[in-house]
Amino acid sequence: MDNIAGTKSGLTWAVHLSVIFLVLLWLFPTIGLFVSSFRTADQISATGWWKALFPTEQNLVVRAAEPSAQVLRDGVYMIEGNVFEDFSVGVIAHWGVSSREISAYQPGETAELRDGSSVTLEADGSYRVESAEEMSGSRGQRIFVTATTPPEFTLGNYEFMLFDPQNSEGMTKAFFSTLTVTIPATIIPILIAAFAAYALAWMEFPGRALLIACVVGLLVVPLQLALIPLLKFHNAIGIGKGYLGVWLAHTGFGLPLAIYLLRNYMVGLPRDIIENAKVDGATDFQIFVKIILPLSFPALASFAIFQFLWTWNDLLVAMVFLIDSSGRTTVMTRQIVEMLGTRGGDWEILATAAFISMAVPIVVFFALQRYLVRGLLAGSVK
Amino acid sequence: MHPALQGLITIVIGVGGCVGYFYFSNFLLDRFLLPARAFTAAETAARRRLGLIFLFALPTLLILALYLSGTGLSGIASGWGLFWLLVVLALIFGLWRLTGFVFATGETTAGHNISHANMIRPWLFLLPAILALGLYLTYPVFETLRLSLIHRNGGVGIGNYTFMFGEQKFWEAMRNNMLWLVVVPAMSTAFGLIVAQLTDRLSWGNIAKMLVFMPMAISMVGASVIWKLVYESRPAEVEQIGVLNALWVGMGGEPQQWLTLPVWNNFFLMVVLIWIQTGFAMVILSAALRGIPEETVEAAIVDGAGPFQIFFKIKVPQIMSTIVVVWTTITLVVLKVFDIVFTMTNGQWGTQVLANYMYDKMFRANDWGTGSAAAMVIMLLVTPILVWNVRNARKEMR
């Protein structure tokens, strides 16, 4: 449409480029943490994560084996081995035998040494020192190696954080705690809200407008106000801190949005269907269960996703209503905050923990985005 | 009991309880209380008796329950006695009116019964929601107000507020909250609008939007970890692993502890929320842009307007009401912002905000009075938006 009046193609390019720039800017921080969660602690502290995506060059000083390891073969004294005995660093780009010329030779070339011996080094790190005479001394020949390391990633962090029984900071327990909080806290408010929304949308009774206004008002009441009174209430009725308390709290806090979203959706359903059903003698309960609920599926799904994301990602409600001093029921968000305090610089742990907690919401987000967007639009545009 | 099992049982009880409640309450209403037919004289007499029993049984049960729950008669007698007495009297009066209504003790025809049943039914549908909303959101507002007026030493008055207003940390939190209020909604809305407009006609616009929208799914704690890595600082002699410091050092600066830099650190925290909320703004504004009538844009093009003129003079004015909605929604999020500050700085180095101040007072200092007072300040800041929302909703319904 903008092209009708012959908009310059330069502008189109500018649009493409700026969108690419913005998207990259938005993704960059997340990718950083994601990449870090696949690196070892040493890698993370050695280089920035953005360098992990490309091969790195490393300069090393290694030593060939001691002369005592030499063998006599075909009249030549030989020492064979690999400079990467303990761990492979990568592929050797070039090497040298003197600290002044560390890149004098290519892999596969042979360096002549002053004492008459020669060194050959292959790209994979295997070397051969040859000499016509018996070699002496107690230390092996120094070799200066420049190795290119291909990008290297590990699943070790995830194994450590999820499956290591020795790890007291493992996330498995917290993961299931979060799941235990989330599922009932998502399902129960939907049911309560659906009935209320039907009444507010399709039943005539005095005070209906006032009730809707109340729901709209309660939408914005900060839940901070509810913390102390409800904690006192839970203690008074003997629930204390625990799953039951957090389920009830999430149910209460989620209801205004649930009722509001569902009512807005149900009001838009065609009047004819409902009135026909009434004429045919259906009761309100039957109409609700057989007609309204199936038709409202998109709105129910929207709210379910909202409530799921909100309860899964919640920190405050869980801290106040769930997690007692024993910490047995800690949820993932809380555990991450704690680890930020105790394991401040251990990014491999923090990144992995954060991604374990983010994985499920991100999957839900990408899978059910359609409903999420629809819910957002129903909830605020107008 | 294993929590997963407990969760499963709760789902079954919760869902079963809800469904059972709704089903049986409607069943009772339609079959026994007010069936769609006229009653015989004998039935009417029986219903009168039932009504009388009900009228006396329920208050008795209520008082018994209060007694057994430990509030006891002593509790009723002390202080709250008059209140409870009034409650019970009101209940009896209400029940008296209700019995006549529910048990149809007067003249009965099918139509009368149906219309009465239809007057009762909405309240059956609404009852669980009203109870939950009342207990979990309405009652706490008044209880918090009450708690904020009770001082630690038992005195009643505005002592908590004067104490709070005397605290330097409170004013720091207020100042920061105001900064957040100005910066975050403005930036999120602006970025959201830019992305929405730029992606509007793009072939791959939906993918771009999805990626910008993604932070919405990430918890604020997760986002804080993500951005803490961006702000990570190492000593000058080793390689920087935080992107910001790497860029900064690359441009010749000294590595900085970004989160401890006075005043600036607030903005570094705000970036996290802007990053999250832009996606929300973009989704809403993108839908609004799509809703603009094509003719207005066409007319502007015909009149020779450039792309910038079209955007600022034609499109933005038409979606102004949506921009306001987005702005206020983000403002609400900002007023309650807690997780980010709690996770990243915990209010140190001059980054305190009201919600975290309140949490500090309530759960670290155990000073419920001042904590409640801080919560009331948040409530007060929210109130204008609340009133505005309610007025808009009422206007819409007419």
Taking only the tens of pLDDT, chain A with its 382 residues reads 444 445 556 778 888 888 889 888 888 888 888 888 888 777 777 777 777 777 777 777 777 777 777 888 777 888 888 877 656 667 777 888 777 777 778 888 888 877 778 888 887 778 888 887 777 777 777 888 877 777 777 787 787 777 777 777 778 888 888 888 888 888 889 988 998 998 888 888 888 888 888 888 888 888 888 888 888 888 888 777 888 888 889 999 989 988 988 888 888 888 888 888 888 878 778 888 888 888 888 888 888 988 998 999 988 888 888 887 777 778 888 888 888 888 777 888 888 888 888 889 999 888 888 888 887 777 664 4
ipTM of the complex: 0.82
**Distance between CA atoms of residues B238 and A157, nearest Å:** 24
pLDDT at B10: 75
Would residue B183 count as lying in a domain? yes
Q: Which candidate from A228, A247, A353 shows the least CB-CB separation from B371?
A: A228
Do the beta carbons of residue A125 and residue A92 sit within 8 Å? yes
Q: Please report which confidence band the pLDDT of residue B78 belongs to, taking 50, 70 and 90 as the band edges.
A: low
**Amino acid letter for position B252:** G
Residue B244 CA: distances (Å) to CA of A320, A344, B209, B268, B332? 35, 18, 25, 11, 29
pLDDT at A37: 83
**Distance between CA atoms of residues A261 and A372, nearest Å:** 12
**In the predicted structure, residue B75 carries a pLDDT above the cut 60:** no
Please answer yes or no on whether A4 and B298 come within 8 Å at the CB atom: yes
Would residue B228 count as lying in a domain? yes
Are B255 and B385 in a shared domain? yes
User: String of b and e for B127-152 (b: at least 16 CB within 10 Å)?
Assistant: bbbbebbebbbbebbebbbebbbbbe
pLDDT greater at residue B80 or residue B263: B263
**Distance between CA atoms of residues B393 and A366, nearest Å:** 32
Would residue B131 count as lying in a domain? no
Structure tokens at B144: 């918090």
Do the beta carbons of residue B28 and residue B20 sit within 8 Å? no
**In the predicted structure, residue B63 carries a pLDDT above the cut 80:** no
Do the beta carbons of residue B156 and residue B246 sit within 8 Å? no
Would residue A181 count as lying in a domain? yes
pLDDT at B102: 66
Would residue B146 count as lying in a domain? no
Please answer yes or no on whether B390 and A216 come within 8 Å at the CB atom: yes
**Distance between CA atoms of residues A198 and B286, nearest Å:** 30
Last residue within a domain, chosen from B125, B151, B181: B125
Contacts of A229 in chain B (CB under 8 A): 139-140, 143-144, 147
Would residue B154 count as lying in a domain? no
Structure tokens at B189: 């809305």
Are A64 and A134 in a shared domain? yes
Contacts of B139 in chain A (CB under 8 A): 229
Are A178 and A291 in a shared domain? yes
Angle B324-B275-B261 (CA atoms, 0-180°, nearest 5)? Answer: 110
**Distance between CA atoms of residues B189 and B138, nearest Å:** 31
Are B211 and B258 in a shared domain? yes
| Distance of residue A294 Cα from the nearest chain B Cα, in angstroms | 16
Are A367 and A324 in a shared domain? yes
pLDDT tens, residue by residue, B1-25:
566 677 788 778 878 888 888 888 8
Do the beta carbons of residue B301 and residue B310 sit within 8 Å? yes
How many structural domains is chain B composed of?
2
pLDDT at B101: 67
Please answer yes or no on whether B139 and A229 come within 8 Å at the CB atom: yes
pLDDT at B275: 92
Do the beta carbons of residue B374 and residue B358 sit within 8 Å? yes
pLDDT tens, residue by residue, B25-47:
888 877 777 776 677 777 777 77
Query: Maximum CA pair distance of chain A?
Result: 111
Are A61 and A36 in a shared domain? no
pLDDT tens, residue by residue, B139-175:
888 888 888 888 777 777 787 888 888 888 888 889 9
Residue A316: which of A216, A226, A239, A185 has the closest Cα? A226
DSSP A39: S
Which residue, chain included where needed, has tokens 């100042």?
B175
Would residue B190 count as lying in a domain? yes
**Distance between CA atoms of residues B3 and A184, nearest Å:** 12
**Distance between CA atoms of residues A337 and B219, nearest Å:** 12
Contacts of A364 in chain B (CB under 8 A): 217
Length of chain B: 398
pLDDT tens, residue by residue, B182-221:
999 999 999 999 888 888 888 888 888 888 888 988 989 9
Would residue B84 count as lying in a domain? yes
Q: E strands of A211-334, at which residues?
A: none
Do the beta carbons of residue B173 and residue B352 sit within 8 Å? yes
Terminal Cα-to-Cα distance of chain A (whole angstroms) = 26
Q: Partners of B282 in the beta sheet? A: none
Structure tokens at B384: 């204008």
DSSP B156: B
pLDDT at B189: 92
Residue B370: which of B106, B166, B209 has the closest Cα? B166
Are B176 and B102 in a shared domain? no
Angle B46-B48-B49 (CA atoms, 0-180°, nearest 5)? Answer: 65
pLDDT at B210: 86
Q: Is the dihedral of CA A249, A181, B382, B147 positive or negative?
A: positive
Strand pairing category for A91-96 and A142-149: antiparallel
pLDDT at B273: 92
Structural domain of A223: 160-380
Restricting to B residues 120-149, those with a Cβ less than 8 Å away from any Cβ of A are: 121-123, 125-126, 128-130, 132-133, 135-141, 143-144, 147
Q: Which of B133, B362, B366 has the most A C-beta neighbours within 10 Å, making it the best mutation to test the interface with A?
A: B133
| Distance of residue A82 Cα from the nearest chain B Cα, in angstroms | 30
Do the beta carbons of residue B296 and residue B318 sit within 8 Å? yes
Do the beta carbons of residue B325 and residue B284 sit within 8 Å? yes
Angle B123-A374-A366 (CA atoms, 0-180°, nearest 5)? Answer: 125
Are A83 and A166 in a shared domain? no
Are A135 and A243 in a shared domain? no
Residue A339: count of CB within 10 angstroms of its CB: 18
**Distance between CA atoms of residues B236 and B243, nearest Å:** 14
Q: What is the pTM of this model?
A: 0.81
**Distance between CA atoms of residues B353 and A368, nearest Å:** 34
Last residue within a domain, chosen from A102, A130, A149: A149
Structure tokens at A130: 């040859």
| Distance of residue B26 Cα from the nearest chain A Cα, in angstroms | 7
**What is the side-by-side strand order in the sheet with A142-149?**
A56-63, A142-149, A91-96
Are B218 and B362 in a shared domain? yes
Nearest CA in chain B to A307: B217
pLDDT at B188: 92
Are A243 and A363 in a shared domain? yes
Structural domain of B23: 14-125
Please answer yes or no on whether B339 and A315 come within 8 Å at the CB atom: yes
